[in-house]
Amino acid sequence: MTAPLRTVPTSPLGERTADWFRAEARDLPWRRPDTTPWGVLVSEFMLQQTPVARVEPVWERWMAEWPVPSALAAASRPEVLRAWGKLGYPRRAARLHEAAAAIAAQHGDRVPSDVEELEALPGIGSYTARAVVAFGYGRRAPVVDTNVRRVVARAVHGAGDAGPARVKADLADVDALLPRDDSAAAVVSAALMELGAVICVARNPRCGACPVHADCAWIAAGRPEYTGPRRPVQGFAGTDRQVRGKLLDVLRAAEAPVPKAALDVVWSDGPQRDRCLDSLLVDGLAEQTADGHFALGGTTPGTTD
């Protein structure tokens, strides 16, 4: 091999993180070499705002039951919601169900490998689209999630934490860390996320074990504390979110449609309860049967025309 005429711009940060990742990456089921892009897509839906440990068992069962998009598309909405279990944010399950139907019907049962096509699917935004391109197809794509934003904020910018998203600038920051080569870039993308997930964590980062501590702008600056604006922590107790959760919990456990009285017992505030039940109907997570009972369900993809 001849040496390149011009030095390829490389990032020590990206390369060292990738080396560390190749040696230390967690053995997660969706990282197995035989995982399909569909398996990656399912994992990304489940991992949105949800810890790895809770996702693992659900992902295993899900992929055994629905190994291809068309299989999920053929399932009923109640089946899908029960399989989702208590992962949280059940609208994700509904959107994954709808995305599967679209992939089966419009993409020949093959998960798109193009960012724009992916983002056109329900429940898939900037992060998930690029994660599928990188981890499902081994292609170069800047993957920006909360972990990566924190790593970049610290290691590159020397700040204590990331602050509010700056979508374009964040993408550019990460893009600058990726090598040109597709598969090498995909490894760096996974590696940056892993670093943020296990080493460069939000509280008590493990800088002593960090593969890039020598290149870290935050350490160089003396690990200054983050002073910028914090996203307000969302309350939960007493919110519609909690009530919806309780309602759905009853419907998930029920083998047959339940009378409204079975739902009334989970929350004493009547108006709030009714509002939440209605929102579940609107979201396609619950449905009312002809005899006025309630059940898991709602719009099933493919049944409308």
Partner DNA sequence: AAGACGTGGCC
Partner DNA sequence: TGGCCAAGTCT
- Report in angstroms how near the CB of residue 28 gets to DNA at its nearest: 5
Q: Is 288 in the site for DNA (CB under 7 A)?
A: no
| Angle (CA) 206 207 209, round 5° | 75
| Contact mark string toward DNA, 134..173, x via CB under 7 A | -----------xxx----------------x---------
Note the helical H segments in the chain: 12-24, 37-47, 52-65, 69-74, 77-84, 91-106, 115-119, 126-131, 137, 146-151, 167-175, 182-198, 217-220, 240-253, 260-264, 270-282
Euclidean distance between CA atoms 216 and 174, whole angstroms: 15
If you count them, how many residues does the chain have?
305
Q: Is 264 in the site for DNA (CB under 7 A)?
A: no
Name which of 19 and 283 has its Cβ closer to DNA: 283
Q: Is 30 in the site for DNA (CB under 7 A)?
A: yes
Q: Which of 156, 131, 136 is nearest to 38 (CA)?
A: 136
- Report in angstroms how near the CB of residue 267 gets to DNA at its nearest: 12
> Which pair of structure tokens corresponds to residue 25?
């990456």
44 included as an active-site residue: yes
Determine the interface stretch with DNA among 12-20, 27-35, 261-269, 293-301 (rule: CB under 7 A). 27-35
Q: Is 189 in the site for DNA (CB under 7 A)?
A: no
- Report in angstroms how near the CB of residue 241 gets to DNA at its nearest: 4
- Report in angstroms how near the CB of residue 7 gets to DNA at its nearest: 33
Euclidean distance between CA atoms 28 and 48, whole angstroms: 16
Size of residue set near DNA by CB under 7 A: 55
Name which of 54 and 157 has its Cβ closer to DNA: 54
Q: Is 296 in the site for DNA (CB under 7 A)?
A: no
Determine the interface stretch with DNA among 101-109, 181-189, 240-248, 260-268 (rule: CB under 7 A). 240-248
Q: Which of 15, 44, 98, 287 is flagged as catalytic? A: 44
Euclidean distance between CA atoms 266 and 171, whole angstroms: 44
Q: Is 51 in the site for DNA (CB under 7 A)?
A: yes
Backbone φ, ψ for residue 288 (5° rounding):
-105, 130
> Which pair of structure tokens corresponds to residue 73?
């598309």
Q: Is 196 in the site for DNA (CB under 7 A)?
A: yes
Largest CA distance in the chain: 77
Name which of 10 and 227 has its Cβ closer to DNA: 227
β-bridge pairing 286-288 and 294-296: antiparallel
Determine the interface stretch with DNA among 67-75, 109-117, 206-214, 245-253 (rule: CB under 7 A). 245-253
DSSP 74-137: HS-HHHHHHHHTTSS-THHHHHHHHHHHHHHHHSTT----SHHHHHTSTT--HHHHHHIIIIIH
- Report in angstroms how near the CB of residue 290 gets to DNA at its nearest: 26
Q: Which residues bind DNA (CB under 7 A)?
A: 28, 30-31, 43-44, 47-52, 54, 86-91, 95, 119, 122-129, 131, 145-147, 164, 193-194, 196-197, 201-203, 230, 232-234, 236, 239-242, 244-246, 248-249, 279
Catalytic sites, residue numbers: 44
